Amino acid sequence: MENISVNSLGHLTFCGMDTLSVARDFGTPLYVMDEVSVRKECRKFKDSITEYYDGKGLVCYASKALCCVYMCRLIAEEGLGLDVSSAGEIYTALKAGFDPEKIVFHGNFKTDAELDYALENKIGRIEADGFGELRRLAALAAAKGVTANVLLRVKPGVDAHTHEFIQTGQIDSKFGVALENGEAFAAVKEALSYGSISLKCLGCHIGSQIFEIEPFCHTAEIMLEFAAKIKNELGYEVPELNLGGGFGIKYTQVDTPADTAECIKAVSARVKAKCKELGLDVPFIMLEPGRKIVGDKGLTLYTVGEVKEIPNVRTYVIADGGMTDNPRYMLYQAEYEVINASRADKPKDSTVTVCGRTCESGDKIGEGLKLQQTVPGDILAVLSTGAYNYSMSSNYNRIPKPAAVFIKDNRIITAVRRQTLDDVISNDVL
C-alpha cells in the first residue's frame, strides 16, 4: 500500500497522519481511505483511455466495491461513469448528483420496479442479462413510450481464474447469455426486433482480482468476433463494447497485478488491430474497475480487545470488529497484511489468528498472520480493505457498522458516520 509509514513514536502513519490519533478521534473499527490515491487511480484510467484509445471510451467505477454518496460525488468530479447493480446504488448515485447518462445498470436479475426506476431516471445503459429480462425491459419501455438503451451481457467463455486462463466452462454462470450455444446471437436478434429497445452495447465481465493482461485482450477479441458476426449476418454494428472490471490489486507480497496503463495500452492495441482485421469501426469502449480504484487505497483500524493465548494451539488476537465489517476471509479465505499500528517499528515476531467478536468461530480476519507482539488496547491496521469491505458489511449480532473517513490534504472527512444503537433498531416497528 502507498502512503503508509512509521513515525518517531513507532506508530503507523497513513497519508502522513498518526493512525493512533485517527483511531482516538474517530473510534474503531474505522475504514480509512486515501482520497488522493483514489483520485490518482481514476486519472490513470481516464488518461490511459485518452492516450491509448483516443479518448473513445468511458471508465465506469464499479460502485459495488465501495458505495456511498461521498464516493459517487468523487467519481463524478473525476469525470468517470458509474456501474451500479441495484436501485439502492442508483439512488445513492442520484443523491450525489451523478449524471444518469453516465450510469450503467448491471445485475443478473433486476426487478420490474428497479427497471422502471432506471427508465424513469434515464439511466444511460441498462443491461439485459437474459431473454426474460430483455422481454420485461422491452415491455416496460414500450409501456412508458420510451426507448431503453441496452447493454447485452454476454458470457464470452473465458475463465480468467485458472492458472492458464481457459476458454471453456463459463457457460455455467448465472450471468448473461452464452456465445458458444448460439444464445447470445439469438438474444441480439430478438433485441433488434423490439422498437422500444436500442442495442447500444455488448458487455462481459470475466472475473475479479485478475493479474494478467492477456485474458482481457483475448476476451476483447472474442467479443469483436461476435460483433463482426452480428454485422455480417444481421447488418447491424453494435457501437459499444463493455469489457467489465476485474483488475487485480496487491493484498500481500505474493500478488503481482498488472499496471493499469500497461493493461489499457495492450487492450487498446489489440482492439484496434482486431477491428481492422474484421472490418469493424473501432467501438466506444467501457471498463468497470471497482477494486483497482479503491481496494489498496484504504485500510481498517481496530482496537485489540483481548489476546487469548492457548498454549501449543494458537494465539487469538481479538479485535473490536471482524466479519461484520470484513467478511472476505470468511467468504474467500482472502489474505491481508496486518500491522500493529501501535508498535509498527517492532519486528513481526509472533504468529497469530486475528479474529472478530461475533458468536461465530469462523469470524476471522486471518490465520497464521505475522504480527508484532500485541496487547489489549493496541491498534491494528488491516491493509487494502478499501474494496468490498464497507459495501459487504452487516449488522450481525446487531453490531453497528463502522464509520468511513477519507483523508485529503491532512484533513479527515467523514463520508459515512458510525451507526448508533438507534440506527440498529431503526427499522424495527416499536
State the residues that interact with ligand LLP by CB under 6 A: 62, 65, 83, 106, 205, 208, 244-247, 288-292, 328, 332, 388
Answer whether the bond into residue 283 is a cis peptide, omega within 30°: no
CA 96 from chain center: how many Å? Answer: 18
In whole angstroms, what is the distance from residue 91 CA to residue 86 CA?
Answer: 9
Taking the complex as a whole, the smallest distance from the CB of residue 152 to ligand LLP amounts, in Å, to: 13
Q: Which one, of 244, 249, 332, 327, lies nearest residue 291 by Cα?
A: 249
CB 201 within 8 A of CB 242: yes
List alpha helices for 287-404, DSSP H.
Answer: 291-294, 328-332
Q: Which one, of 197, 60, 80, lies nearest residue 128 by Cα?
A: 197
Taking the complex as a whole, the smallest distance from the CB of residue 291 to ligand LLP amounts, in Å, to: 4
Taking the complex as a whole, the smallest distance from the CB of residue 129 to ligand LLP amounts, in Å, to: 10
Taking the complex as a whole, the smallest distance from the CB of residue 363 to ligand LLP amounts, in Å, to: 17
Nearer residue to ligand LLP within complex by CB, 23 or 217: 217
Nearer residue to ligand LLP within complex by CB, 12 or 249: 249
Q: What is the DSSP letter of 237?
A: -
Nearer residue to ligand LLP within complex by CB, 271 or 352: 271
Nearer residue to ligand LLP within complex by CB, 34 or 89: 89
Is 359 an annotated catalytic residue?
yes
Determine which one of 60, 204, 217, 359 is catalytic.
Answer: 359
In whole angstroms, what is the distance from residue 106 CA to residue 188 CA?
Answer: 17
Q: Which one, of 215, 99, 230, 124, lies nearest residue 162 by Cα?
A: 215
Taking the complex as a whole, the smallest distance from the CB of residue 175 to ligand LLP amounts, in Å, to: 7
CB 96 within 8 A of CB 416: no
Residue whose C-alpha cell reads 496486518 in the numeric block? 338
CB 29 within 8 A of CB 382: no
Nearer residue to ligand LLP within complex by CB, 23 or 295: 295
The catalytic residues are: 359
